[in-house]
A and B are shown apart, each in its own frame.
Chain A
Amino acid sequence: MKLPVYLDYHATAPVDPEVLQAMMPYFTEVFGNAASRNHEYGWTAEAAVEKARQQISKLIGATEKEVIFTSGATESNNLAIKGVAEMYQEKGNHIITSTIEHKAILDTCHALEKKGFEITYLPVDRYGQVSAEAVRNAITPKTILVSIMAANNEIGTINPIGSIGKVCKEKGVIFHTDAVQLVGKGHVDVEEMGIDLLSMTAHKMCGPKGVAALYVRRRNPRVRLAAMMHGGGHERGMRSGTLNVPGIVGFGKAAELAGRRMVEESGRIQRLRDFLWEKIQADLDEVYLNGHPNERLPGNLNVSFAYVEGESLMMGMKELAVSSGSACTSASLEPSYVLKNIGVGEDLAHTSIRFGLGRFTTQEEIEFAASKVISTVKKLRDLSPLYEMAKEGIDLKSVNWTGH
């Protein structure tokens, strides 16, 4: 077992050896520019890109012409939102999103607000879900775009994307979803779910970093985007720039593998995740699950360990690579805005740990992780004045704290 045990698959995943193998020739022998239309080198590169487009489109139920390659999901999200905003600004200036989107969505929306767009940030329920009804009620004649994430990167909650897509179709509003965490892990079908734009990335599904895609619907309706990157007119003019051929080939292979293995792999990962959660609950009191109990990513477990601060917890289990919602782990000194928006109090937000399981996570690793977490929490609770007070029956909410 390699230490530290990697349990941060929401951040990124290792490249699958099969993916790497597929990519290798495209760095050296087949190095052509996919846009070189007049010789063999260009044709083979182009053929490889088209094959990847097919593999990726198949994973989300799209056609290959609807896949636009980008440099990362942040770019895909920027292109989707700014591209729609600029293209449809004469139709309206209102965009709907949610309060727990990834920063790539929220910051893009903030930037548009400064340019005169109106943004509605829909609140989420205590599990982190946005209801289709809330979306329906927020739509006005000025609404040009709804952008709601498919699954949350911190708490793993999956949104009712199909119902939201249906409302958007009914109202004739373009629907974008940031599906970075869900694609390759759970069922996504752009036709069935009424999705018009979808962001996805290779490295969350054991593909390489630096390559991602934006699905752009071509029929019913045909979605048009103003380009952010101008140049040689690649990718139907929506994203100029020489294509990252080896990266795209790897992305294609990763999508193919994810699609083929999804059912078996998600089941296996979910069983490991449930095992970890059961172990933790059996040995520790006052542990709280953040996010939805069932409608969540199979590899996500986000837990608040009351009375134990997240950063010190991570420090005590440095054999585990996990992440925390504690303020101390971020540069901002603010605890997670996602936890805050689902109503987790700041005291509990400071105590949260996110475990992210993935393709290469083993039973042995999870057993090791469980015992490490349990022993560290116990050790730190022995050190915690809050745990001591709670055990003495003192209501911590009634204490007059001298906060600073």
Chain B
Amino acid sequence: MAYNTKVIDHYENPRNVGSLDKTSKSVGTGLVGAPECGDVMKLQIEIDEKTRIIKDAKFKTFGCGSAIASSSLATEWVKGKTIDQALAIKNTEIVQELSLPPIKIHCSVLAEDAIKAAIQDYIKKNEEKEKLA
């Protein structure tokens, strides 16, 4: 199977690889997928509390080239966006940008899920914080 050049580019030069401090209250972590299914994505976002803007994003992915590219692209896209803007990102936009074939659409779904899971984690963390205070 030949890969799209954008997929290859993200695979060879993945953007924003790494980890943020998952214990920090300004960081949200999303971990989606399963090793048995062949893909697991960890996507983390760091949010500016005042502006609610995502100021940093990092990822690590176990999966095929398309899964790595989808999560790499997702980190690029969420950076600089507000929480609401990031929540609006659809998997179909990832499919379009990377020209993913039908058999790889689940990779884009997983990336969308990872963004949502990271945001939810951030919100949950801060709700508890507010309650405690």
Chain A binder among B38-46, B49-57, B79-87, B124-132: B38-46
A383 contacts chain B at the CB level, 8 A cutoff: yes
Q: Which residues of A contact B14 (CB under 8 A)?
A: 383
Task: Establish whether residues A402 and B60, one from each chain, have CB atoms under 8 Å apart when the complex forms.
Answer: no
Q: Which residues of A contact B61 (CB under 8 A)?
A: 383-385
Q: How many pairs of A and B residues are in contact by the CB < 8 Å rule?
A: 87
B2 to chain A, nearest CB (A): 11
Task: Establish whether residues A403 and B37, one from each chain, have CB atoms under 8 Å apart when the complex forms.
Answer: yes
Within 8 A of B (CB), among A336-382: 345-347, 350, 382
A22 contacts chain B at the CB level, 8 A cutoff: no
Q: Which residues of A contact B32 (CB under 8 A)?
A: 402
Q: A315-B3, A315-B11 are in contact. Are A346 and B62 (CB under 8 A)?
A: no
A101 contacts chain B at the CB level, 8 A cutoff: no
C-alpha spacing A337/B63, complex, angstroms: 20
Q: A384-B61, A404-B106 are in contact. Are A312 and B35 (CB under 8 A)?
A: no
Q: Which residues of A contact B3 (CB under 8 A)?
A: 315
Across the interface, name the chain B residue whose C-beta is closest to A382: B17
A-B contact pairs, 10 of them (CB 8 A): A315-B8, A326-B64, A333-B103, A347-B36, A350-B35, A384-B61, A388-B42, A401-B33, A404-B34, A404-B37
Q: How many residues of B contact A (CB 8 A)?
A: 32
Task: Establish whether residues A383 and B60, one from each chain, have CB atoms under 8 Å apart when the complex forms.
Answer: yes
B92 contacts chain A at the CB level, 8 A cutoff: no
Q: Which residues of A contact B95 (CB under 8 A)?
A: none
Task: Establish whether residues A335 and B38, one from each chain, have CB atoms under 8 Å apart when the complex forms.
Answer: yes
Q: Which of B17, B36, B42 contacts A346, CB < 8 Å?
A: B36
- Chain A positions within 8 Å of B, measured between CB atoms, are 307-309, 311-312, 315-316, 326-328, 333, 335, 345-347, 350, 382-388, 396, 399, 401-404
B103 to chain A, nearest CB (A): 7
Task: Establish whether residues A385 and B31, one from each chain, have CB atoms under 8 Å apart when the complex forms.
Answer: yes
C-alpha spacing A76/B113, complex, angstroms: 49
Task: Establish whether residues A402 and B34, one from each chain, have CB atoms under 8 Å apart when the complex forms.
Answer: yes
Task: Establish whether residues B38 and A326, one from each chain, have CB atoms under 8 Å apart when the complex forms.
Answer: yes
C-alpha spacing A345/B31, complex, angstroms: 21
Q: Which residues of B contact A385 (CB under 8 A)?
A: 31, 40-42, 60-62
B74 contacts chain A at the CB level, 8 A cutoff: no
Within 8 A of A (CB), among B88-133: 103, 106, 109-110, 113, 117
- The 4 A-B pairs of least Cβ separation, nearest first, read A403-B34, A401-B34, A385-B42, A347-B35
C-alpha spacing A171/B92, complex, angstroms: 62
